Amino acid sequence: MNKVEGVIFDWAGTTVDFGCFAPVNVFIDIFKNAGIEVTMEEAREPMGMLKIDHIRAMLFMPRISTKWEEKYKRAFNEQDVVNLYAEFETALMSSLSEYTDPIPEVVETVQILRNQGLKIGSTTGYTQTMMDVVVPNALKKGYGPDFYITPDGTNSLGRPYPYMIYRNMEALELSASWKVVKVGDTTSDIKEAVNAGVWSVGVVIGSSEMGLSLEEFNALSKEEQEKVISKTEKSFLQNGADFTIKSMSELPPLIETIHHLISDGKRPNAK
Rounded distance between C-alpha atoms, residue 13 and residue 21, angstroms: 8
C-alpha span between 261 and 93 (Å, rounded): 42
Distance CA 229, CA 227 (A): 5
Q: Is 12 annotated among the ligand-binding residues?
A: yes
* CATH 3.20.20.70 is held by the domain 6-20+100-263: no
pLDDT at 165: 98
Q: What is the pLDDT of residue 1?
A: 74
Q: How open is the CA angle 30-32-38, to the nearest 5 degrees?
A: 100
Residue 270: its pLDDT value, please? 58
Residue 95 phi/psi, 5-degree rounding, is: -115, -5
Residue 91 labelled as part of a binding site: no
Residue 10 annotated among the catalytic residues of the structure: yes
* Catalytic one of 10, 17, 53, 242: 10
- Cα distances from 251 to residues 108, 141, 267, in angstroms, run 11, 21, 18
Q: Give residue-wise pLDDT tens across range 58-79.
A: 999 999 999 999 999 999 999 9
Q: How far is CA 153 from CA 13, 127, 137, 260, in A?
A: 21, 9, 21, 34
Residue 5 three-state SS: coil
Q: What distance in Å separates the CA atoms of residue 70 and residue 48, rounded to the nearest whole number?
A: 29
132 is annotated as contributing to ligand binding: no
Helix/strand/coil for 144: coil
183: left (phi over 0), alpha (psi -120 to 50) or beta: beta
Closest CA to 11 of 159, 113, 219: 159
CATH of domain 21-98: 1.10.150.240
Q: Would you kindly state where each structural domain of the chain is located, as residue ranges?
A: 6-20+100-263, 21-98
d(CA 79, CA 149): 27
- Region of 191 (left: φ > 0; alpha: ψ -120 to 50; beta: rest) is alpha
Supply the DSSP string of 153-211, one letter for each residue: GGTT--TTSSHHHHHHHHHHT---GGGEEEEESSHHHHHHHHHHTSEEEEE-TT-TTTT
Cα 147 to Cα 19, 150, 265: the distances in Å are 23, 11, 28
Q: Is-contact 131 156, C-beta < 8 A? A: no
Per-residue pLDDT at 269: 83
Residue 265 Ramachandran class (φ > 0 left, ψ -120 to 50 alpha, else beta): left
Asked if 151 and 127 touch (Cβ cutoff 8 Å), the reply is yes
Q: Could you confirm whether 182 is annotated as catalytic?
A: no
User: pTM of this prediction?
Assistant: 0.94
- Closest C-alpha among 8, 204, 10 to residue 126: 10
- Burial bucket for residue 71 (CB in 10 Å: 0-12, 13-18, 19+): exposed
Catalytic residue from among 3, 32, 51, 271: 51
All residue ranges of the chain with pLDDT < 50 are 271
